[in-house]
Amino acid sequence: MSKDAYTILCKRINKLVAERNDLRSQLAHQGKIGAQQFEVQRVEIESLRAERDEYKGMIERGLKYTTLQARHDQLKSKLAAYRYIPVGERKPNNVRNVWVILYAKATGSYSGGIGFYGKDEKGFGWETWGPGILDEVVFWRDIVLPSLPEKGGE
């Protein structure tokens, strides 16, 4: 529910409380207004207060959800830099060294290393640095270095 609905609900509660107080005064002075009418007003006020509190919670949860969603999107974009990409999905499009996961067909084992995907006299292919028995690149990801502080601030 919107903040406008919450504001309208608060105004309605304040109006009913004022009416109830007027009824109390009249009841005390004139004795003409029955306790039943007073009870009906009390129940309506409590019902509206409960609804108001529910709307307030919805507004707060909505704001928290928006804040959490923004934080989630930030973390998701940061984590994307650390995702290993299957070679079948795509290969590096720039000439650069990348982290690789190598697979040894003979032993069925995996290991990490550094790789370079580029073109030589044989065409495009991988040059890897890692255990020699591992012969197939199956995953890769960019090498992400931590941000360093500015030298002027030291």
pLDDT reading at 33 higher than 50: no
pLDDT tens column, 64-121: 777 777 878 887 877 777 788 898 998 888 767 888 888 888 888 888 888 888 877 8
- Predicted pLDDT of residue 134: 58
pLDDT tens column, 116-125: 888 778 778 8
The 3-state DSSP class for residue 141 equals strand
pLDDT reading at 147 higher than 80: no
- What is the mean pLDDT of the segment spanning 15-27? 74
pLDDT top residue among 84 and 33: 84
Q: What is the b/e burial string over 82-115, where b = at least 16 CB atoms within 10 angstroms of the residue's CB?
A: eeeeebeeeebeeeeebbbbbbeeeeeeeeeeeb
Q: If pLDDT is split at 50, 70 and 90, which confidence band does 153 have?
A: low
- Give the C-alpha separation, 3 to 52, whole Å: 11
Residue 123, φ and ψ in degrees, nearest 5: 110, -160
- Give the C-alpha separation, 56 to 53, whole Å: 5
- Predicted pLDDT of residue 32: 47
- What is the mean pLDDT of the segment spanning 11-15? 82
Judging by DSSP bridges, how do beta strands 97-104 and 109-120 pair with one another?
antiparallel
pLDDT reading at 60 higher than 70: yes
Question: What does pTM read for this prediction?
Answer: 0.47
Tokens of 104: 């040894």
Q: Show me where the domains of the chain are located.
A: 3-80, 85-142
